[in-house]
Amino acid sequence: MSNLFEQTDQYSSDNYSPLKLALAKGYGAKVWDVGGKCYIDCISGFSVVNQGHCHPEIIKAFQQQSQKITMVSRALYSENLGIWEEKICKLANKEKVLPMNTGTEAVETAIKIARKWGSDVKQIAESTTEIIAMKGNFHGRTLGSLSLSSQDNYKQGFGPLLNNVHYADFGDIEQLKNLINEQTTAIILEPIQGEGGVNIPPDHFLQAVRKLCDENNVLLIADEIQVGLGRTGKMFAMEWEHVEPDIYLLGKSLGGGLYPISAILANQNVMEVLTPGTHGSTFGGNPLACAVSIAALDVLIEEKLVENSKNLGQKLLNQLQLIDSHIISDVRGRGLFIGIELTEEAKPYCLKMIEKGVLCKETQGNIIRIAPPLVINEQEIDKVVHVITEVLEKGRQ
């Protein structure tokens, strides 16, 4: 086993510093390490396995499609692209979809669409177009997405990045009003910030942003790559305020934890700025991705995972808020997306929880993010509550 760690560390680039824990197997909300120890997964590969690990229906779709045809370039049509497109468009209530592969590519695509829309529709001079992002966001690691980041340690040394990105505090509508001007083409936000620490905006903030965008003819881009598809107890986290963005970005669990696929969804009046040759992706919308994603969406709906997220998430939140501990400064969340904010470093507590069979990970140093697969059941929730209570009530030992 130690050989596994040594081998990996010897050859891995050093951009990660993983815990010394190697997983070998997963099913539903449970995972097993290489030694056979079982854990309840409250990381879910960062909200990728919402449908649970190794879901049999999703695996079946993958296997069946992989024996038929896996790759068709977008120079041609394929059998299931349209089926997937109709499904995801109807789910998001948008007319058009553009499939990509990873989350950050969806963000890149949205930046391109927003800039082209600014140029074509708003007649903004190309070099002056501006985008507003929220402080504490996470939109991905490629250069365009990275340009939206307000975290200097993510950007240091990688410049020059895209210019004309401005930042408002997440939840501060007055700052947004002050930043918006004739050059502004889009506001991009996560309706609930994930990496930023499970940050929920103040009530009516999303509605106020929608209004501001309408008044100023600015696109509202909702990055739902992490919080979309049931994670927060709604299909889309924007629904918490009944707001429709101009562009939805999806990724992560859109591929059912099995295959990367991401999506950019918008109505035709926005999407039409892309014409043949202006954008593309070799793997985007390939038959294997579509087959897996169709199954992933079917599972989400047929197994009522959004409702499960809402109900069990509320139960989990209620129980966690009862924990009596001087090191907890806040417990917040929506659906099965919960942040426990501590007054000190969270990592030692995460390690204790892992020791006791609950996988979790800290973010921003002092926040424990709890995001189990949406297939988690009551019994497993009880175990999660038990372990977290035990570790946080007693504190670090």
Q: Residues 50-89: x/- map of binding to ligand PLP (CB under 6 A)?
A: ----------------------------------------
The residue nearest ligand PLP at its CB is 103
Q: Would you say 188 or 305 has its CB closer to ligand PLP? A: 188
DSSP 125: -
Find the binder of ligand PLP among 223, 246, 362, 380 (CB under 6 A): 223
The window from 27-35, 97-105, 293-301, 335-343 that contacts ligand PLP (CB under 6 A) reads 97-105
CB-CB contact of 113 with 121 (8 Å): no
Tokens describing residue 381: 């929730």
Q: Given 30, 252, 352, 361, which residue is catalytic? A: 252
CB-CB contact of 136 with 199 (8 Å): yes
Tokens describing residue 318: 């209620």
Task: Give the shortest CB-188-to-ligand PLP separation in angstroms.
Answer: 10
Q: Is 367 in the site for ligand PLP (CB under 6 A)?
A: no
Pick from 378, 243, 362, 278: which is nearest to 370 by CA? 362
223 is catalytic: yes
User: Collapsing DSSP states into helix, strand and coil, what is residue 97?
Assistant: strand
| Residues of span 2-61 touching ligand PLP by CB under 6 A | 46
CB-CB contact of 278 with 116 (8 Å): yes
Q: Is 196 in the site for ligand PLP (CB under 6 A)?
A: no
What angle is formed at CA 21 by the lines to CA 102 and CA 31, rounded to 5 degrees? 70
Q: Would you say 31 or 133 has its CB closer to ligand PLP? A: 133
Task: Give the shortest CB-227-to-ligand PLP separation in angstroms.
Answer: 7
Q: Is 107 in the site for ligand PLP (CB under 6 A)?
A: yes
Q: Is 226 in the site for ligand PLP (CB under 6 A)?
A: yes
Tokens describing residue 284: 């985007």
Q: Would you say 85 or 223 has its CB closer to ligand PLP? A: 223
Run of H or E residues at 290: helix 287-302
Alpha-carbon span 48 to 46, nearest angstrom: 6
Task: Give the shortest CB-22-to-ligand PLP separation in angstroms.
Answer: 21
170 is catalytic: no
| Residues of span 142-171 touching ligand PLP by CB under 6 A | none
Q: Given 46, 138, 236, 337, which residue is catalytic? A: 138
Find the binder of ligand PLP among 41, 85, 190, 380 (CB under 6 A): 190
Q: Which residues contact 136 (CB under 8 A, 6 or more apart)?
A: 150, 151, 170, 193, 196, 197, 199
Detail the DSSP E strand segments found in the chain: 23-27, 30-33, 38-41, 96-100, 130-134, 165-168, 184-189, 219-223, 247-250, 262-266, 328-334, 337-342, 358-359, 361-363, 367-370
The window from 101-109, 160-168, 234-242, 327-335 that contacts ligand PLP (CB under 6 A) reads 101-109
Question: Which residues belong to the active site?
Answer: 138, 223, 252
By CB under 6 A, name the binding residues for ligand PLP: 46, 102-104, 107, 138-140, 190, 194, 223, 225-226, 251-252
